[in-house]
Each structure stands twice: as C-alpha cells, then as structure tokens.
Amino acid sequence: MGYPPDWRSHGNADAVEALVRNDPFAHFVTSHTGLRSTRIPLITDFDNATPVRLRGHLNRQNPQAEDLDGKTALATFDGPATYVSPNWRTDLSVAATYDYEEVQIRGTVRVISDIAFFKRLVDDLARWIEPQYSEVGEYPVWQSSMTPAGYVERLFPAITVFELEVQSIQMISKLHQTYPEADRRSIADHLARSHREGARRIAEKIRMQLED
C-alpha cells in the first residue's frame, strides 16, 4: 500500500496549474547543507500544461544557496487547508482531521549567473502575482525597468538565481473523498459558514467533487 493513498492523488493537470499559479509562495526544501526550508515565490514554466521548470532566487547568505548547483530539491505549494471537526459528520466517533490540497514538485537545481535571466524572473513574478491583488488599487504592473539605474546590477551579487528542472509532480487532495455523501455535504455546509478563507475554499472544492 502506497502513501499517500491513491484517493488523495490528484492527476488533473488543470488543478495542478491552478494551484501553483494561485499560490506561488512555496516551501523550497534542500538537504545538502542540512535539512532546510525557505519560503520563496516560484515561477512555474509549463509545456503542454505540464510543469517542466521552476524559477526562483535566494539570498546568497542563505545556507541553502551554498553549492546549490546540481543538487536535488523539493518545492511544495500550499493550497487551501482547514480543520474538520467530528461534530460536522454523522458519525461522531471518527477523530478530527484536516482537509487540504498541495502540489509537491521535485527536481534538480541549476544555478544561473545571467543577470538578464534574473530580470526576466522578477518581471515574470510581478506579471503573475500583482494581478491577484488588483482589488487594492489601479496600478501598472511593476517591472524591473522602473527601478533606478544600476539598482538591479547592485542587487544581483547578493542573490543566487536558479531554475529547477522538474522530475516529478504530485498533487495531494484530501477532501473527505472516502466519506458518505451526507458527511461531505454537512462538512461543506459548516465550512462555508466559516470566516476563514481556506475553510470556504475547501467547502467549495468538496461541493464541486460532489457535483462531478
């Protein structure tokens, strides 16, 4: 029996793409300097809807940046998550748990020393992420060309820019799939009333699965 169980594995390419685009602030995990994790925004490049490359950067003083080239790494993208109380099911004897979604991407890191690559990276990050905050005001999408002359050139030596060549992708979707429909509907109804955004997003996903 494998883990996670098959019912938690979500192979839908559209769902993977939506999660890594909507929640690009990932955990970047390495072990070559001891087990370490840093949260950084990562751009995901696709080929026919399949992630083939991640792009990101670290502060050069971060121990993860030391001898990073050629090392293996794991990036985890967190989707919504929520607590689920036994009180929301028909059978109160089953313990509480969390429902959640995430994407795990593993691969090999290649350090990039090209400043033009870094400029494209920060520009792509801004084009990807800033529209998600459009409700706070009408502004042009920030680009590196808006910075003072020489700013990026002075910043570049202080960072380590890299790409991760994707070797495996796994989406985990734990949404009470194995429970009776009555339990799932009850859980979704309770979560939909929560003030927590993650809970409401999980409620919507459970309802969408029930309607499939």
Give 183-210 as a DSSP string. Answer: HHHHHHHHHHT-S-HHHHHHHHHHHHHH
Helix (H, G, I), strand (E, B) or coil at 146: helix
Q: Which residue has the tokens 């409620």?
A: 203
Give Rg (Cα) of the chain: 20
Give 7-54 as a DSSP string. Answer: GGB---HHHHHHHHHH--EEEEEE-BTBSEEEEEE-EEEEETTEEEEE
pTM confidence score: 0.92
pLDDT of residue 80: 96
Measured CA distances, 183 to 40, 98, 123, 190 (Å): 37, 15, 45, 11
pLDDT of residue 87: 97
Average pLDDT per consecutive 10 residues, the chain (212 residues; last block may be shorter): 70 89 96 97 94 97 98 97 96 92 97 96 95 92 93 96 97 94 96 97 96 84
Q: Token pair for residue 117?
A: 């690559």
Domains and CATH numbers, the chain: 6-178 (2.30.110.10)
Cα torsion through 174, 5, 209, 196, rounded to 10: 0
- The answer to whether residues 125 and 43 touch, using CB atoms and an 8 Å cutoff, is yes
Q: Which residue has the tokens 């949260």?
A: 39
Q: Which residue has the tokens 């905050």?
A: 133
- The answer to whether residues 46 and 33 touch, using CB atoms and an 8 Å cutoff, is no
Taking the C-alpha atoms of residue 148 and residue 1, their distance in angstroms, rounded to an integer, is 57
